[in-house]
Amino acid sequence: MPAITFTFGGKTVSCELARKVTKDDLYGTLKKLTIKGTEVLSRGYLTADGRCVPASAISNSRLDPEGSPVDKEEILYDGTSREPLPSSFEEAAPLETAPLKALASFCVTDVYPLEGATLKKGLYLTWFSYRKSPERKEAFVLAKDGGTFLLVGYAKNSPFVGKIVPYELFDAESATGGDEEDEEMNFAMM
Partner 1 sequence: MTTTIHLEYEGKAARLPLQSPKRNKVAPAIQRRTTAGAVNNVRIFNAARRVDPKSLSPEDVASGDPELDLSMAGTLADSDLLSTAFVDKAGTVVRDFEEIEVVLKPDGTEKERRPRTDRCANVNDVRPIKVGKFMPVEEALTSFVFRGVYQVVHEDGLGHEFLRGLAEKLEKEKSVAVLGAGQKGNQPLVLVDGGSPYRAFLYGESAKEGTYRLLILLSNQELKLPA
Which residue's CB is nearer to partner 1, number 3 or number 165?
Answer: 165
Candidates 1-9, 89-97, 171-179 — which segment interacts with partner 1 by CB under 8 A?
Answer: 171-179
Task: Write out the binding residues for partner 1, residues 78-107 only, by CB under 8 A.
Answer: 78-79, 100-101, 103-107
86 three-class SS: coil
Cβ(14)–Cβ(118) below 8 Å: no
DSSP lists the bridge partners of residue 178 as: none
Distance of CA 36 to the CA centre of its chain: 36
Which positions ≥6 away from 42 have C-beta within 8 Å? 54, 55
Which residue's CB is nearer to partner 1, number 11 or number 32?
Answer: 32
Total site size for partner 1, rule CB under 8 A: 100
Which of 57, 85, 118, 133 lies at the binding interface for partner 1 (CB under 8 A)? 57
Closest CA to 101 of 125, 130, 132: 125
Cβ(102)–Cβ(123) below 8 Å: yes
Candidates 5-13, 90-98, 154-162 — which segment interacts with partner 1 by CB under 8 A?
Answer: 154-162
Does residue 120 bind partner 1 (CB under 8 A)? no
Q: How far is CA 174 from CA 136, 177, 179, in A?
A: 26, 5, 10
Q: Angle at CA 6, nearest 5°, toward 2 and 7?
A: 155
Which of 9, 74, 83, 120 lies at the binding interface for partner 1 (CB under 8 A)? 74
Candidates 2-10, 19-27, 88-96 — which segment interacts with partner 1 by CB under 8 A?
Answer: 19-27
Does residue 44 bind partner 1 (CB under 8 A)? yes
Does residue 157 bind partner 1 (CB under 8 A)? yes
Which residue's CB is nearer to partner 1, number 12 or number 167?
Answer: 167
Which of 5, 7, 21, 98 lies at the binding interface for partner 1 (CB under 8 A)? 21
Which positions ≥6 away from 46 have C-beta within 8 Å? 52
Does residue 124 bind partner 1 (CB under 8 A)? no
